[in-house]
């Protein structure tokens, strides 16, 4: 499984990366990439498609410098549509946020086609439950 973590906090990025390595047990350092902003995430997303090794899963913080996580995911969905990527091959997205905001949650699900929406603090149990729920483990 190839994963992209989009999070501007270094501490949160490293924490999530470690949780994912513990939960999956099979992921090595090369299976998880990190981006600190939406623009960086888009660049990495497109680069991986060009390499033929796209991401399977993205953890996307909503509040990011520059382009926020929702805008970034909307652009990723537009790229997938342009490339005519079939539904089953589209990247799965789990939004993470410190905000418990129903408007942003609705937008994440309906406009951005997010798989899940997790409010911080993120725990190993929350991540494992979401990955199990969607058959990603």
Task: Say if 137 falls within a structural domain.
Answer: no
Measure the CA angle with vertex 65, ends 49 and 39; round to 5°.
20
* pLDDT given at position 40: 97
Check whether 8 has a pLDDT greater than 70: yes
Task: Say if 77 falls within a structural domain.
Answer: yes
Segments forming the whole domain that contains residue 42: 3-129
Binned at pLDDT 50, 70 and 90, residue 112 comes out as low
Task: Say if 73 falls within a structural domain.
Answer: yes
* pLDDT given at position 93: 93
Specify the number of domains making up the chain.
Answer: 1
* pLDDT given at position 35: 97
Binned at pLDDT 50, 70 and 90, residue 98 comes out as confident
For the chain, the first-to-last Cα distance in angstroms comes to: 9
Task: Say if 27 falls within a structural domain.
Answer: yes
Averaged pLDDT score across all residues of the chain: 88
Q: Examine residue 121 and say whether the peptide bond preceding it is cis (omega within 30 degrees of 0).
A: yes
CATH of the domain at 62: 3.40.50.2300
Task: Say if 16 falls within a structural domain.
Answer: yes
Binned at pLDDT 50, 70 and 90, residue 133 comes out as confident
Task: Say if 135 falls within a structural domain.
Answer: no
Lowest mean pLDDT among 17-26, 37-46, 69-78: 17-26
Task: Say if 116 falls within a structural domain.
Answer: yes
Task: Say if 136 falls within a structural domain.
Answer: no
Gap between the Cα atoms of 118 and 94, Å rounded: 7
pLDDT tens column, 24-70: 876 777 899 999 999 999 999 999 999 999 999 999 999 899 999 99
pTM summary value: 0.89
């Amino acid at each position: 499984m190839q994963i992209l973590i989009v999070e501007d906090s270094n501490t949160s990025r490293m924490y999530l990366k470690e949780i994912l390595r513990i939960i999956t047990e099979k992921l090595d350092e090369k299976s998880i990439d990190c981006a600190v902003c939406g623009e960086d995430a888009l660049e990495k997303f497109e680069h991986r498609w060009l390499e033929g090794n796209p991401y399977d899963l993205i953890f996307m913080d909503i509040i990011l410098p520059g382009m926020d996580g929702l805008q970034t995911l909307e652009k990723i969905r537009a790229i997938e549509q342009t490339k005519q990527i079939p539904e089953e091959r589209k990247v799965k997205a789990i939004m993470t946020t410190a905000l418990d905001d129903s408007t942003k949650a609705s937008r994440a699900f309906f406009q951005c086609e997010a798989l899940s929406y997790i409010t911080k603090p993120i725990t190993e149990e929350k991540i494992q439950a979401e990955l199990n729920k969607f058959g990603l483990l």
